[in-house]
């Protein structure tokens, strides 16, 4: 990575950068099918797009990048595809550790991590520990993630606290409950991107995207480039965000 790059070098306004970009990476299967290839080849090509996107966000100066890499619904896919995705995830974590250390990137994972195979959990723990003190950017992988499950998990924690007399239900606020979401401590996404043209949220960050700007591109995830990401951020910088107010 070229550490001398910054938002300005990409023609972006450094004072109006999204603090958090979240991406629904869709279209790996269609990318492969169009080329008469196995779907797994599409996921492999998708991993390359992940590398490019992480690098670009770091160079621009985006503080948090969340990637929807595996949803709770994805467990219903054929075993062979799940297994290939898990192998790709492990490979990604192992091969990117040096890049994360060199570029001050901290890895985090959100979702029901305990459901992942041991080889992925171990690689996650190792990479999270190794990068724990990095401050340049958080790379947040949503794995075995579902937005509704996240909210149910939050309700379970808070109701247990209420039962034990540790919180007064009358005093529960939005500011309080966010501390019990998987994303506690992170800003909400300012920008959510979905590739491959589908107009759906697919159970992604349901609480956190209340005021996010949404950008849907027809590009299939493996074709998602650095140039397109920069164009989308430029578009974001030109939008007027009102948060329900009038200006
Ligand atoms: C959606 O494409 C993509 C996924 C279900 C998984 C995303 C995984 C990767 C990009 C690769 C591995 C991840 C990392 C972080 C290295 P799809 O299969 O639903 O495509 P389709 O809708 O065209 O069938």
Give ligand 1 pocket residues (Cβ under 6 A). Answer: 25-30, 43, 46-47, 50, 67, 69, 74, 88-89, 92, 141, 196, 221
Longest dimension (CA), the chain: 60
**Full-model pTM:** 0.96
Q: Does residue 181 sit within a domain?
A: no
Active-site residues, by number, are 26, 74
**pLDDT per residue as tens digits for the range 127-149:** 999 999 999 999 999 999 999 99
159: its two tokens = 């109701």
Q: Does residue 208 sit within a domain?
A: yes
**pLDDT per residue as tens digits for the range 66-92:** 999 999 999 999 999 999 999 999 999
Task: Residue 30: give the domain boundaries.
Answer: 8-146+188-236
Q: Does residue 35 sit within a domain?
A: yes
Confidence of residue 246 (pLDDT cuts 50, 70, 90): confident
Rounded distance from Cα 86 to ligand 1 centre (Å): 11
Residue closest via CA to ligand 1's atom 7 equals 69
**pLDDT per residue as tens digits for the range 186-197:** 999 999 999 999
Q: Does residue 32 sit within a domain?
A: yes
* Mean pLDDT of the residues in the chain: 96
Q: Does residue 170 sit within a domain?
A: no
Domain count along the chain: 1
Instruction: Tell me 63's DSSP state.
Output: S
CATH assignment at residue 45:
3.40.1180.10
CA pair distance 206, 146, nearest whole angstrom:
9
56: its two tokens = 């670009």
Q: Does residue 183 sit within a domain?
A: no
Instruction: Tell me 241's DSSP state.
Output: P
Q: Best substitution site from 23, 28, 124 to test ligand 1's pocket, by max atoms within 8 Å of Cβ?
A: 28
């Amino acid at each position: 990575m070229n550490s001398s790059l910054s938002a300005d070098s990409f023609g972006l306004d450094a004072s109006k950068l999204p603090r958090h970009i979240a991406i629904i990476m869709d279209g790996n299967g269609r990318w492969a099918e169009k080329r008469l290839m196995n779907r797994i080849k599409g996921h492999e090509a998708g991993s390359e797009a992940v590398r490019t996107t992480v690098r670009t966000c770091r160079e621009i100066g985006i503080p948090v990048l969340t990637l929807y890499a595996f949803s709770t619904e994805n467990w219903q896919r054929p075993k062979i595809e799940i297994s290939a995705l898990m192998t790709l995830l492990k490979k990604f974590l192992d091969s990117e550790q040096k890049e994360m250390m060199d570029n001050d990137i901290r890895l985090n994972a959100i979702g029901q991590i305990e459901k992942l195979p041991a080889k992925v959990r171990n690689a996650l723990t190792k990479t999270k520990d190794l990068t724990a003190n990095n401050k340049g950017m958080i790379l947040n992988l949503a794995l075995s993630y579902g937005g509704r499950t996240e909210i149910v998990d939050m309700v379970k924690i808070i109701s247990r606290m209420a039962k034990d007399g540790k919180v007064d239900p009358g005093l529960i606020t939005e500011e309080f409950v966010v501390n019990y979401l998987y994303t506690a401590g992170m800003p909400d996404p300012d920008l959510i991107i979905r590739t491959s043209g589908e107009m759906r949220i697919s159970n992604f960050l349901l609480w956190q995207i209340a005021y996010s700007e949404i950008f849907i591109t027809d590009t299939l995830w493996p074709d998602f480039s650095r140039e397109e990401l920069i164009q989308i951020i430029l578009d974001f910088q030109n939008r007027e965000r009102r948060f329900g107010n009038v200006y």
